[in-house]
Chain A
Amino acid sequence: MSDLFRFAFDVANLGSLYALMALGLVLVYGILRLVNFAYGELIMIAGYTLYLLNKSPLPWLVMALCALIAATLASVATERIAFRPVREKSLTAMLITSFAVSTLFQNAALLFISPRARVVPLPDLFSQSVTIAGELYQLRDILGIVVAVAMLVLFTTLLNRTVLGIALRAAADNFRMTRMLGVPANLVISTAFAISGFLAGVVALFWLGRTASVTPTIGLEPLIVAFVAVVVGGINSLLGAVVGGYVLALMTVGINSFLPQALVDYRQAFTFALVILILLVRPEGLVRAR
């Protein structure tokens, strides 16, 4: 019983993080058909913001808030400066621009900070743990689930109850028609990038919380995870991103727990084999649009 609960807890913890990442990626994709490869760097930017504020006397919550703001602003700024000028040109131009932005951010971190890992401040809460039914649980992981679920609820409410949220969903479905109803393209796109950046910031707090450090290439793994989750879940659906995140976590945790010790080194291969299998059966992903 407790084994099963432990398993579900781990899936919920990892899946929540994956779902948020995937959501941030698919939100922009839905509207612009752009896989933003600079998405991982937003996590990095949030991380370095924490690092730079480490010596300041600010309480951790304020630092975290600054990191969220930094990731959000960076996301909106990249859209304004890099993506908007090439938006009308072609999808390929935007895709290549996203690689350029990603490389630019990484190199800026290498050049101005350091290629080596830097310590990120974390609250004491993150290193504490509680015992529930004889099992030890990290407070950080519990907090991760709570925050992620809260974000998903907030996000769903926003998308269902506010006019701008409804416009975002409409734009993700049919951007041209949404504009023909008078919804400004720039407003929708900026909002999507802002939410995407904010989600990256939230993910950063918990992703970096595991190692308490940040490196210039820290964004690569979450980007790949988010991308795989989105593809598995169904790239044309916001719900798909969330489902994909939890399914990928289920696979990852499942393989980690049940794979014989000798094969643990190959766990990535098993995960991706499963991903390929899912895509063979459902090429559109688990959740189909419409």
Chain B
Amino acid sequence: MKASIRKVATFVEETRNEMGRDVDPPTRRAAAVAVIANPCAGKYVEDLSELMTIGEELGELLTLRAVAALGIPATTVESYGKAAAVGENGELEHAAAILHPKLGAPVRKVLGKGAALIPSSKKRGGLGVPLDIPLGHKDAAFVRSHFDGMEVRINDAPRANEIMVAVAVTDSGRPLPRVGGLTKDQIKGEDGLR
């Protein structure tokens, strides 16, 4: 493995009740987060291909971990998202190199499908910085019930020369969706949008 991983954390959230109303079945989502050394920290590096390769490795590892944490077959995942936080000696572009060129393909391979863009966010920050991972339906980005986000953080990461990389998956949308829009049973699944 090209990435030097210091730690991996997984988070599983299950919501059973909102405002006194039961959520049945409960909504569940999971995130897997890797804390890795940033090989480009502290200097300007023109060619970021090493980070792109790391992104490819982490796409597979983190998706497998997140799906395992959720405990469902990978093909039944409904929505997904990704995010990265770069420590203070790195550039936002380092997060972009990990997230965008190569991370998505192994995510989709693990899930079996994934026609929609994987929503993403990135930031630079210090230890304990919260990472808000955007979530969207994996086959149709316009499914409104699945527009969501999951906050994760690790108190001791990212250190200055590290990057936190996260992949999140769900078995559902928001707990009590009721703002209309495209529903998941209306998905055509041709263009990744509707």
Chains A and B belong together in one complex: no
Binding site for A on B (CB under 8 A): none
Binding site for B on A (CB under 8 A): none
